Chain A
Amino acid sequence: MSDIHHEFISHASEDKAHSALNTKLIWKVFWILLGVTIFEVGISFSSIPHTILIWTFVALTLVKAYFIVGYFMHLRFEVVPLQWTILLPFILIVYLIILCLYEGVALGYLVY
Chain B
Amino acid sequence: MSSQAGASSSSGNIWSGGRSPFAVRWGKMYMWIFLISDAFTFSSLLVAYGTLRHTHSGIWPKPVDVFREFPFIHGHVPLAYVGLMTFILIMSSVTMVLAVDAGHSRRKKSVLLWLGLTIIGGCMFLGSQAWEWYHFITGSEEGAYISADGKFGRTDDLEPGVIRFHDGTMIEGTEAEHFKATAVKNIHGANLRENEYGNTPLFANFFFFITGFHGFHVFSGVLINLIVFILVSRGFLERKKDYELVEKVGLYWHFVDLVWVFVFTFFYLV
* 12 pairs, A vs B, C-beta closer than 8 Å: A6-B25, A9-B23, A21-B97, A26-B97, A41-B269, A61-B262, A72-B96, A89-B40, A93-B40, A97-B47, A104-B54, A105-B55
Interface of B is mostly: helix
Per-residue A-contact encoding for B119-145, CB less than 8 Å = 1, 0 else = 000000000000000000000000000
Contact between chains at A37 and B20 (CB < 8 Å): no
B window 83-119: CB within 8 A of A: 83, 86-87, 90-91, 93-94, 96-98, 101, 104-105
B-chain residues with CB within 8 Å of residue A48 when the two chains form the complex: none
A57 to B86, CA, bound (A): 15
Name which residue of chain A comes closest to B43, CB basis.
A93
- Residue from A1, A13, A14 having most chain B Cβ neighbours under 10 A: A13
- Contact residue range for chain B? 35 or more
Contact between chains at B23 and A100 (CB < 8 Å): no
Contacts A13-B24, A68-B261, A82-B24; A26 near B269 (Cβ below 8 A): no
Shortest A3–chain B CB gap in Å is 10
A window 50-78: CB within 8 A of B: 54, 57-58, 60-61, 64-65, 68-69, 71-74, 78
Contacts A5-B12, A89-B36; A78 near B23 (Cβ below 8 A): yes
Contact between chains at A37 and B90 (CB < 8 Å): yes
Partner of A104, one of B14, B39, B50: B50
The verdict on B79 contacting chain A, using a C-beta distance below 8 Å, is yes
Partner of A65, one of B44, B80, B93, B261: B261
A: residues with CB less than 8 A from B are 1, 4-6, 8-10, 12-14, 17-18, 21-23, 26-27, 29-30, 33-34, 37-38, 40-41, 44-45, 54, 57-58, 60-61, 64-65, 68-69, 71-74, 78-79, 81-82, 85-86, 89-90, 92-93, 96-97, 100-101, 103-105, 107-108, 111-112
A16 to B22, CA, bound (A): 14
Contact between chains at A57 and B50 (CB < 8 Å): no
Shortest A9–chain B CB gap in Å is 5
Shortest A69–chain B CB gap in Å is 7
A13 to B22, CA, bound (A): 10
The verdict on B73 contacting chain A, using a C-beta distance below 8 Å, is no
B: residues with CB less than 8 A from A are 8, 12-14, 19-25, 29, 32, 36, 39-40, 43-44, 47-48, 50-58, 64, 78-80, 83, 86-87, 90-91, 93-94, 96-98, 101, 104-105, 242, 244, 250-251, 254-255, 257-258, 261-262, 264-265, 269-270
B-chain residues with CB within 8 Å of residue A107 when the two chains form the complex: 51, 54-55
Shortest B152–chain A CB gap in Å is 14
A-chain residues with CB within 8 Å of residue B269 when the two chains form the complex: 40-41, 44, 57
A51 to B38, CA, bound (A): 29
Name which residue of chain B comes closest to A89, CB basis.
B36
Contact between chains at A78 and B58 (CB < 8 Å): no
Contact between chains at B44 and A108 (CB < 8 Å): no
Contacts A38-B83, A68-B254; A30 near B90 (Cβ below 8 A): yes
Contacts A37-B83, A65-B262, A78-B24; A104 near B97 (Cβ below 8 A): no
